[in-house]
Amino acid sequence: AQKITQTQPGMFVQEKEAVTLDCTYDTSDPSYGLFWYKQPSSGEMIFLIYQGSYDQQNATEGRYSLNFQKARKSANLVISASQLGDSAMYFCAMRERDFNKFYFGSGTKLNVKP
Amino acid sequence: ETGVTQTPRHLVMGMTNKKSLKCEQHLGHNAMYWYKQSAKKPLELMFVYSLEERVENNSVPSRFSPECPNSSHLFLHLHTLQPEDSALYLCASSQDDRGSAGELFFGEGSRLTVL
Protein backbone atom coordinates (compact mmCIF):
# COMPACT_ATOMS: atom_id res chain seq x y z
CA ALA A 1 0.00 0.00 0.00
CA GLN A 2 1.14 3.51 -0.72
CA LYS A 3 2.28 5.44 2.30
CA ILE A 4 1.24 8.85 0.94
CA THR A 5 -1.59 9.42 -1.53
CA GLN A 6 -2.26 12.67 -3.33
CA THR A 7 -5.28 12.20 -5.56
CA GLN A 8 -5.18 15.55 -7.37
CA PRO A 9 -2.57 15.58 -10.15
CA GLY A 10 -3.48 19.16 -11.01
CA MET A 11 -5.50 22.00 -9.53
CA PHE A 12 -6.51 25.47 -10.66
CA VAL A 13 -7.37 28.32 -8.32
CA GLN A 14 -8.21 31.95 -8.89
CA GLU A 15 -5.80 34.48 -7.45
CA LYS A 16 -6.78 35.61 -3.92
CA GLU A 17 -8.98 32.58 -3.34
CA ALA A 18 -8.24 29.72 -0.94
CA VAL A 19 -7.36 26.22 -2.14
CA THR A 20 -7.11 22.84 -0.43
CA LEU A 21 -4.65 20.19 -1.55
CA ASP A 22 -5.52 16.69 -0.41
CA CYS A 23 -3.23 14.18 1.24
CA THR A 24 -3.92 10.87 2.94
CA TYR A 25 -1.34 8.69 4.62
CA ASP A 26 -0.94 5.16 5.85
CA THR A 27 1.08 4.16 8.89
CA SER A 28 0.80 1.96 11.94
CA ASP A 29 3.41 3.95 13.88
CA PRO A 30 1.88 5.96 16.73
CA SER A 31 4.60 8.59 16.29
CA TYR A 32 5.04 10.24 12.93
CA GLY A 33 5.40 13.61 11.28
CA LEU A 34 3.64 15.06 8.28
CA PHE A 35 5.18 17.65 5.97
CA TRP A 36 4.30 19.71 2.94
CA TYR A 37 6.86 20.87 0.40
CA LYS A 38 6.60 23.26 -2.54
CA GLN A 39 8.63 22.72 -5.70
CA PRO A 40 8.70 25.64 -8.16
CA SER A 41 9.85 25.11 -11.73
CA SER A 42 13.41 25.87 -10.62
CA GLY A 43 13.50 22.46 -8.92
CA GLU A 44 14.28 23.26 -5.30
CA MET A 45 12.03 21.61 -2.71
CA ILE A 46 10.92 24.19 -0.16
CA PHE A 47 9.66 23.09 3.26
CA LEU A 48 6.31 24.71 4.07
CA ILE A 49 4.74 23.23 7.17
CA TYR A 50 4.99 20.40 9.70
CA GLN A 51 2.42 18.53 11.82
CA GLY A 52 3.38 16.05 14.51
CA SER A 53 1.11 13.10 15.16
CA TYR A 54 0.67 14.12 18.81
CA ASP A 55 0.02 17.78 18.09
CA GLN A 56 -3.44 18.79 19.26
CA GLN A 57 -3.69 21.93 17.16
CA ASN A 58 -3.55 22.18 13.40
CA ALA A 59 -0.26 23.66 12.23
CA THR A 60 -0.23 27.10 10.64
CA GLU A 61 2.54 29.03 8.91
CA GLY A 62 1.46 32.34 7.46
CA ARG A 63 -0.93 31.63 4.59
CA TYR A 64 -0.44 27.87 4.97
CA SER A 65 -2.41 25.69 7.33
CA LEU A 66 -2.59 21.97 7.69
CA ASN A 67 -6.00 20.41 8.23
CA PHE A 68 -5.02 17.36 10.29
CA GLN A 69 -7.70 14.71 10.74
CA LYS A 70 -5.97 11.88 12.54
CA ALA A 71 -8.83 9.39 12.54
CA ARG A 72 -9.23 9.77 8.79
CA LYS A 73 -5.45 9.81 8.26
CA SER A 74 -5.61 12.96 6.23
CA ALA A 75 -3.34 16.00 6.23
CA ASN A 76 -4.68 18.48 3.73
CA LEU A 77 -2.82 21.70 2.97
CA VAL A 78 -4.87 24.87 2.84
CA ILE A 79 -3.42 27.91 1.11
CA SER A 80 -5.35 31.09 1.80
CA ALA A 81 -5.38 34.14 -0.49
CA SER A 82 -3.55 32.43 -3.35
CA GLN A 83 -0.85 34.36 -5.15
CA LEU A 84 0.60 33.89 -8.62
CA GLY A 85 3.87 32.82 -7.00
CA ASP A 86 2.09 29.88 -5.42
CA SER A 87 1.98 28.13 -8.80
CA ALA A 88 4.18 25.06 -8.27
CA MET A 89 4.17 21.36 -7.47
CA TYR A 90 3.20 20.52 -3.90
CA PHE A 91 4.29 17.34 -2.18
CA CYS A 92 2.93 15.78 0.96
CA ALA A 93 5.40 13.69 2.96
CA MET A 94 5.54 11.58 6.08
CA ARG A 95 8.31 10.53 8.43
CA GLU A 96 7.75 7.56 10.70
CA ARG A 97 9.42 6.78 14.01
CA ASP A 98 12.44 5.47 12.12
CA PHE A 99 13.86 8.78 10.96
CA ASN A 100 15.26 7.22 7.82
CA LYS A 101 11.77 6.39 6.55
CA PHE A 102 10.65 9.54 4.75
CA TYR A 103 7.90 9.01 2.18
CA PHE A 104 6.65 11.42 -0.49
CA GLY A 105 3.41 11.52 -2.43
CA SER A 106 3.24 11.93 -6.20
CA GLY A 107 2.49 15.63 -5.94
CA THR A 108 -0.19 18.10 -7.02
CA LYS A 109 0.51 20.76 -9.62
CA LEU A 110 -1.18 23.98 -8.59
CA ASN A 111 -1.85 26.72 -11.11
CA VAL A 112 -2.96 30.11 -9.84
CA LYS A 113 -4.89 32.11 -12.44
CA PRO A 114 -4.82 35.92 -12.49
CA GLU B 1 25.22 30.85 1.67
CA THR B 2 22.18 28.72 1.11
CA GLY B 3 21.64 25.81 3.50
CA VAL B 4 22.23 22.99 1.02
CA THR B 5 24.31 23.56 -2.10
CA GLN B 6 24.51 21.20 -5.05
CA THR B 7 26.95 21.28 -7.94
CA PRO B 8 26.77 21.11 -10.84
CA ARG B 9 23.26 22.36 -11.45
CA HIS B 10 23.20 20.82 -14.92
CA LEU B 11 25.20 17.90 -16.28
CA VAL B 12 25.17 16.21 -19.67
CA MET B 13 27.16 13.03 -19.99
CA GLY B 14 27.61 10.09 -22.31
CA MET B 15 27.00 6.55 -21.21
CA THR B 16 30.72 5.82 -20.91
CA ASN B 17 31.61 8.90 -18.86
CA LYS B 18 32.40 9.11 -15.18
CA LYS B 19 31.19 12.15 -13.29
CA SER B 20 30.29 13.14 -9.75
CA LEU B 21 27.58 15.20 -8.14
CA LYS B 22 28.49 17.16 -5.04
CA CYS B 23 26.36 18.29 -2.13
CA GLU B 24 27.35 20.47 0.80
CA GLN B 25 25.21 21.44 3.77
CA HIS B 26 25.87 24.39 6.06
CA LEU B 27 23.16 23.63 8.61
CA GLY B 28 25.07 21.43 11.05
CA HIS B 29 22.79 18.49 10.34
CA ASN B 30 23.76 14.89 11.02
CA ALA B 31 22.03 13.14 8.13
CA MET B 32 22.20 13.54 4.36
CA TYR B 33 20.18 12.01 1.53
CA TRP B 34 20.17 11.51 -2.23
CA TYR B 35 16.79 11.45 -4.00
CA LYS B 36 16.02 10.87 -7.65
CA GLN B 37 13.12 12.69 -9.27
CA SER B 38 12.01 11.48 -12.69
CA ALA B 39 9.14 12.89 -14.71
CA LYS B 40 5.75 11.72 -13.47
CA LYS B 41 7.21 9.64 -10.64
CA PRO B 42 7.31 10.20 -6.89
CA LEU B 43 10.64 11.08 -5.35
CA GLU B 44 12.76 7.98 -4.99
CA LEU B 45 15.08 7.70 -2.01
CA MET B 46 18.47 6.44 -3.16
CA PHE B 47 20.82 6.74 -0.19
CA VAL B 48 20.75 7.90 3.41
CA TYR B 49 23.78 8.70 5.53
CA SER B 50 23.39 9.24 9.24
CA LEU B 51 26.47 10.30 11.19
CA GLU B 52 28.48 9.59 8.03
CA GLU B 53 27.44 5.94 7.90
CA ARG B 54 25.19 4.65 5.16
CA VAL B 55 21.98 3.39 6.70
CA GLU B 56 19.72 3.05 3.70
CA ASN B 57 20.25 1.85 0.16
CA ASN B 58 17.05 1.20 -1.69
CA SER B 59 18.44 -1.30 -4.20
CA VAL B 60 20.08 1.36 -6.31
CA PRO B 61 22.12 0.08 -9.29
CA SER B 62 25.85 -0.11 -8.66
CA ARG B 63 26.50 2.47 -11.38
CA PHE B 64 25.56 4.97 -8.66
CA SER B 65 28.11 5.12 -5.87
CA PRO B 66 27.69 7.44 -2.89
CA GLU B 67 30.41 8.86 -0.70
CA CYS B 68 30.07 10.78 2.55
CA PRO B 69 33.51 11.89 3.77
CA ASN B 70 32.09 14.00 6.62
CA SER B 71 28.76 15.23 7.93
CA SER B 72 28.78 18.29 5.65
CA HIS B 73 29.59 16.71 2.30
CA LEU B 74 27.94 14.09 0.16
CA PHE B 75 28.90 12.89 -3.30
CA LEU B 76 27.19 10.74 -5.89
CA HIS B 77 29.65 9.14 -8.27
CA LEU B 78 28.23 8.21 -11.65
CA HIS B 79 29.64 5.75 -14.19
CA THR B 80 28.31 3.92 -17.24
CA LEU B 81 24.86 5.42 -16.82
CA GLN B 82 21.85 4.68 -18.97
CA PRO B 83 19.53 7.18 -20.68
CA GLU B 84 16.78 6.26 -18.20
CA ASP B 85 18.99 7.64 -15.43
CA SER B 86 18.32 11.13 -16.76
CA ALA B 87 16.53 12.92 -13.92
CA LEU B 88 16.77 15.61 -11.28
CA TYR B 89 18.97 14.46 -8.41
CA LEU B 90 18.15 16.14 -5.14
CA CYS B 91 20.33 16.24 -2.08
CA ALA B 92 18.83 16.87 1.35
CA SER B 93 19.92 17.07 4.95
CA SER B 94 18.14 16.80 8.28
CA GLN B 95 18.79 16.80 11.99
CA ASP B 96 17.84 13.35 13.17
CA ASP B 97 17.12 13.47 16.84
CA ARG B 98 14.01 13.17 18.93
CA GLY B 99 13.99 16.86 19.70
CA SER B 100 13.39 17.97 16.14
CA ALA B 101 10.70 17.46 13.52
CA GLY B 102 13.37 16.08 11.25
CA GLU B 103 12.27 17.98 8.17
CA LEU B 104 14.40 17.64 5.10
CA PHE B 105 16.17 20.67 3.72
CA PHE B 106 16.83 20.30 0.01
CA GLY B 107 19.34 21.68 -2.40
CA GLU B 108 18.31 23.05 -5.79
CA GLY B 109 19.09 19.78 -7.51
CA SER B 110 21.38 18.60 -10.26
CA ARG B 111 19.65 18.08 -13.60
CA LEU B 112 21.35 15.09 -15.26
CA THR B 113 20.97 14.18 -18.92
CA VAL B 114 22.51 10.94 -20.17
CA LEU B 115 22.98 10.73 -23.93
- Can you give the pLDDT at residue A93? 95
Return the pLDDT at B54: 81
| Mean pLDDT for all residues in chain A | 93
Cβ within 8 Å, pair A100-B107: no
Nearest CA in chain A to B49: A100
Q: Which of B42, B55, B109 sits opposite A43 (nearest CB)?
A: B109
Give residue A24's identity as a one-letter amino acid code: T
The average confidence (pLDDT) of chain B is 90
**Chain A partners of B55 at a C-beta cutoff of 8 Å?**
100
Compute the average pLDDT of residues B25-50.
90
User: In Å, how far is A103's CA from the nearest CA of chain B?
Assistant: 8
pLDDT at A37: 97
3-state SS of chain B is: CCCEEEECCEEEECCCCEEEEEEEECCCCCEEEEEEECCCCCCEEEEEEECCEEEEECCCCCCEEEEEEECCEEEEEEECCCHHHCEEEEEEEECCCCCCCCCCEECCCEEEEEC
Q: How near does any CA of chain B get to the CA of A19, in Å?
A: 22
Largest CA distance in chain A: 43
**A6-20: average pLDDT:** 96
Nearest CB to B103 within list A50, A91, A106: A50
- Local confidence band at A83 (pLDDT 50, 70, 90 cut-offs): very high
Q: What pLDDT digit, counting tens, does each position of A15-56 carry?
A: 999 999 999 999 998 889 999 999 998 888 999 999 999 998
Residues from chain A contacting residue B45 (CB–CB below 8 Å): 102
Chain B nearest CA to A43, separation (Å):
6
pLDDT above 70 covers a percentage of chain A that reads 97
Rounded to whole angstroms, the Cα distance separating A34 from A69 reads 12
The answer on pLDDT for B1 being more than 60 is no
Query: Which residues on chain B are in Cβ contact (under 8 Å) with A52?
Result: 101
Residue range B46-99, pLDDT digits in tens: 999 988 788 777 789 999 999 999 999 999 999 999 999 999 999 999 987 766
Confidence of residue A82 (pLDDT cuts 50, 70, 90): very high
Q: Which of B42, B102, B108 sits opposite A44 (nearest CB)?
A: B108
Do residue B33 and residue A95 have CB atoms under 8 angstroms apart?
no
